[in-house]
């Protein structure tokens, strides 16, 4: 009876919704209704109403969106007998419908995400055996030393923990290569990493051939290990001490659990954050996924494996013959297979690792191209909507995750659609200025407000559009290529621990300046057409405004591809730890103010400090999180600054053995609370109005900076050509 009543209520609500969406009203009534809904949503947001009120606001917003869809479908498409208008008009319509579909999927997933789970460390009753896998290909030894040392010193019974370096850069295939340089490099790497693992008491494992990329490497690790659980960390993902204590306990609660995934936290900015200088003040791009979307997926038992910072069940993996390797995104593909087999997953929303992001724009695009191509392969070969064994919510969740990477297509259409009208007078959107105001503008405002409701403190206005735009230019060919030949893409390792010593334009920046120039020309055409065709001024103004929005995004992108030089080779992390600094045989009270993987900055009480100079050798003594005894770490003084009774000393580590790597890892990575505090410090919601004003100012500044970099680049190339010409004469 209860089920029948629920079905009847659902049908009644649906019928009311259909009537409301399709109700024929005049333009004035539509404008009043749209304004009322926008005002209502704004009031609820200002009052910070949550719970049912939040859902009511989203429901009202959805009604405006669906009404716009109905109007677009029935009133705005060009006639079929005008193919020059109809074809681009249909493409624009499909792009908009894609956006609406993704919005609806987002609403389903994150309208009421699960709250963050409470700390689980104190609830661990049993300690299953854990194998820690650190797959590697071409990463630097010091980078690997930090990750392996961090993994080795996690709080966990030593007899239950075994750390493995899975080295795919020193395989027998590479060591026996007929290419001499490749062979000698692989042999040197093999010997160096074997010694590192011996020093750190870590297992070193390689294989005969580089087959099936990362998935094959992980499966080779499965064959040679026997732990009940498998923890996976990328080579640049160093875990905090409490990683296992916060994750393994969940496997006690659910025998069908295959995955506990944690967020990927990065101590360095991505190229957009670095070049725009937003890293310390604005949430990172990945925080929307790890802070909201994964919690939404978790609600539907659809949180998926992200390749690192996760613990998996060996039994579950072996039931599916290991990690899946058909696509180049083996992580999501593996999770899809296990969810389809009835296994469960959990997402723990606490940063428990610290990793590195690509530093250059080119590496960033290379990483995203791999993600996009891998998700397209999953869509092609695994098609989640029809995947046997998945629940309906899981199907929708996986479809959302894979379909997202089609965004280069609609983003390209939105970029060029206004140019069709301005340059070629194609009418691909049949509507007056008044209709645009009543329907399209209301839809855009409601869309922005709904995104702010869903992701407000995790994603500021217009930032998603900027990230999508800067990726679209280069991701579109990558996505098209995998659609035409889905088996062609191969796994490519993202460059780690990069740095940029001098400011320069990215090597893949040229298309952005060409697009910007075309849009500037379109602005001139807009002004001319308003003057020459006043009878179409309302439509021209609308299209010109659309082009201006694209121009603002394009201008900001010029700053993104203008790479800022960095003096420091690694990112510094603020800490506050008591210590002692030894120099010339004397110990002085000190505090460690910030650290990086290469060095630290100390404040030393200098009342009795002997005079020191840059280059002097010293010793840093502190108590690691791992024990009660003080430990010492050799350093070299790099710079000195005296202020009253405090001397600030910048020093560089001089690791002399495995213990030193563990102490460096303890300084930088051991305390997970510092990552949470850092994230919380930059999570705030500026709102749509303030956020838009801020973005306009950012775009204006970055446009000028990008054009300045272009001018310098052109002048530098001209000077180089002249010097070469003189040399040849």
Indicate which residues carry an active-site annotation: 168, 331
Tokens of 521: 């020309």
592: Cβ–Cβ under 8 A, 6 or more apart, which residues? 575, 576, 577, 578, 579, 600, 601, 602, 620, 622, 667
8-state DSSP, 292:
I
> How, if at all, do strands 161-167 and 130-136 pair?
parallel
Do 374 and 326 meet the contact criterion of CB atoms below 8 Å apart?
no
Paired residues of 633 in beta bridges? 620
CA-CA-CA-CA torsion sign (15, 21, 25, 28): positive
* HEC readout, 175-217: HCCCCHHHHHHHHHHHHHHHHHHHHHCCEEECCCCCCCHHHHH
What is the C-alpha to C-alpha distance for residues 324 and 362, in angstroms, rounded to an integer? 28
Do 554 and 516 meet the contact criterion of CB atoms below 8 Å apart?
yes
What is the C-alpha to C-alpha distance for residues 260 and 247, in angstroms, rounded to an integer? 6
CA distance between the termini of the chain? 96
Paired residues of 66 in beta bridges? none
8-state DSSP, 310:
E
What is the C-alpha to C-alpha distance for residues 592 and 601, in angstroms, rounded to an integer? 6
Helices (H) and strands (E) in the chain, counts: 25, 17
What is the C-alpha to C-alpha distance for residues 718 and 229, in angstroms, rounded to an integer? 59
Where are the strands (E) in 75-139, listed by range?
130-136
What is the C-alpha to C-alpha distance for residues 712 and 541, in angstroms, rounded to an integer? 35
> How, if at all, do strands 310-313 and 257-261 pair?
antiparallel
Do 544 and 526 meet the contact criterion of CB atoms below 8 Å apart?
yes
Q: What are phi and psi of 354, to 5 degrees?
A: -130, 125
What is the C-alpha to C-alpha distance for residues 580 and 603, in angstroms, rounded to an integer? 10
> How many Cα atoms occupy the beta-carbon half-sphere of 469 within 13 Å?
27
What is the C-alpha to C-alpha distance for residues 106 and 306, in angstroms, rounded to an integer? 19
Q: What are phi and psi of 47, to 5 degrees?
A: -75, -5
Tokens of 398: 């996986």
Rg (CA), the chain: 28
CA-CA-CA-CA torsion sign (583, 588, 589, 590): negative
Paired residues of 643 in beta bridges? 646
Do 262 and 243 meet the contact criterion of CB atoms below 8 Å apart?
yes
Do 637 and 615 meet the contact criterion of CB atoms below 8 Å apart?
yes
């Amino acid at each position: 009876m209860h089920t029948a009543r629920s079905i009847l209520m659902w049908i009644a609500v649906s019928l009311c919704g259909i009537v409301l969406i399709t109700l024929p009203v005049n333009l004035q009534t539509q404008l009043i209704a749209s304004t009322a809904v926008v005002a209502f949503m704004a009031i609820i947001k200002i009052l910070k109403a949550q719970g049912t009120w939040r859902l009511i606001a989203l429901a009202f917003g959805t009604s405006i969106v669906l009404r716009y869809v109905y109007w677009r479908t029935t009133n705005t498409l060009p006639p079929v007998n005008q193919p020059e208008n109809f074809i681009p008009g249909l493409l624009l319509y499909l792009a908009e419908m894609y956006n609406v579909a993704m919005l609806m999927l987002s609403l389903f997933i994150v309208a009421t995400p699960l709250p963050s789970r409470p700390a689980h460390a104190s609830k661990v009753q049993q300690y299953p055996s854990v194998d820690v896998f650190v797959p590697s290909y071409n990463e630097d030894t010091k980078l690997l030393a930090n990750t392996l040392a961090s993994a080795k010193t996690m709080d966990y019974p030593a007899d239950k923990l075994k750390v493995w370096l899975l080295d795919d850069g020193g395989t027998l295939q590479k060591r026996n290569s007929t290419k001499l340089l490749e062979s000698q490099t692989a042999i040197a790497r093999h010997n160096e990493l074997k010694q590192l693992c011996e020093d750190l008491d870590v297992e070193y494992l390689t294989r005969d051939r580089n087959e099936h990329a990362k998935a094959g490497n992980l499966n080779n690790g499965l064959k040679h290990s026997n732990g009940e659980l498998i923890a996976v960390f990328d080579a640049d993902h160093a875990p905090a001490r409490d990683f296992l204590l916060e994750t393994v306990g969940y496997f006690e609660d659910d025998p069908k659990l295959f995955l506990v995934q944690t967020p990927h936290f990065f101590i360095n900015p991505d190229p957009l954050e670095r070049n725009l200088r937003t890293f310390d003040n604005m949430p990172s791009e990945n925080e929307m996924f790890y802070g909201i979307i994964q919690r939404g997926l978790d609600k539907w038992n659809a949180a998926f494996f992200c390749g690192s910072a996760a613990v998996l069940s060996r039994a579950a993996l072996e039931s599916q013959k290991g990690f899946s390797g058909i696509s180049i995104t083996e992580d999501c593909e593996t999770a899809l297979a296990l969810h389809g087999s009835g296994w469960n997953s959990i997402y723990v929303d606490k940063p428990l690792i610290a990793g590195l992001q690509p530093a250059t724009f080119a590496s960033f695009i290379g990483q995203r191209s791999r993600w996009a191509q891998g998700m397209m392969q999953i869509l092609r070969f695994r098609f989640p909507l029809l995947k046997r064994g998945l629940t309906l919510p899981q199907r929708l969740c996986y479809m959302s995750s894979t379909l997202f990477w089609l965004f280069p297509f609609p983003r390209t259409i939105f970029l060029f659609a206004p140019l069709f009208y301005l340059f070629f007078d194609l009418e691909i959107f049949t509507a007056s200025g008044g209709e645009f105001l009543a329907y399209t503008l209301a839809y855009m405002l409601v869309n922005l407000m709904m995104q702010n409701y869903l992701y407000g403190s995790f994603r500021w206005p217009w930032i998603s559009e900027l990230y999508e735009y800067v990726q679209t230019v280069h991701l579109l060919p990558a996505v098209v290529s995998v659609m035409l030949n889905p088996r062609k893409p191969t796994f490519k390792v993202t460059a780690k621990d990069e740095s940029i010593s001098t400011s320069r334009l990215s090597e893949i920046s040229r298309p952005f300046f060409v697009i910007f120039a075309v849009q500037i020309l379109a602005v001139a055409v807009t002004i001319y057409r308003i003057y020459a065709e006043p009878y179409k001024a309302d439509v021209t103004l609308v299209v010109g405004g659309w082009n201006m929005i694209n121009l603002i995004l394009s201008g900001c992108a010029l700053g993104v591809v203008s790479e800022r030089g960095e003096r420091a080779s690694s990112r510094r992390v603020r800490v506050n730890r008591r210590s002692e600094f030894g120099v010339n045989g004397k110990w002085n009270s000190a505090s460690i103010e910030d650290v990086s993987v290469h060095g630290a900055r100390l404040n030393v009480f200098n009342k009795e400090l002997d005079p020191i100079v840059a280059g002097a050798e010293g010793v840093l003594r502190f108590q690691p999180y791992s024990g009660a005894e003080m430990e010492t770490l050799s350093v070299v003084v790099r710079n000195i600054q005296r202020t009253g009774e405090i001397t600030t000393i910048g020093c560089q580590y001089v690791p002399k053995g495995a213990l030193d790597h563990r102490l460096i890892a303890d300084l930088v990575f051991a305390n997970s609370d510092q990552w949470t505090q850092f994230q919380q410090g930059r999570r705030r919601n500026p709102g749509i109005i303030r956020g838009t004003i801020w973005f306009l100012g950012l775009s204006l500044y970055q446009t000028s900076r990008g054009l300045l970099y272009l001018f310098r680049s052109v002048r530098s190339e001209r000077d180089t050509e002249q010097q070469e010409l003189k040399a040849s004469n």
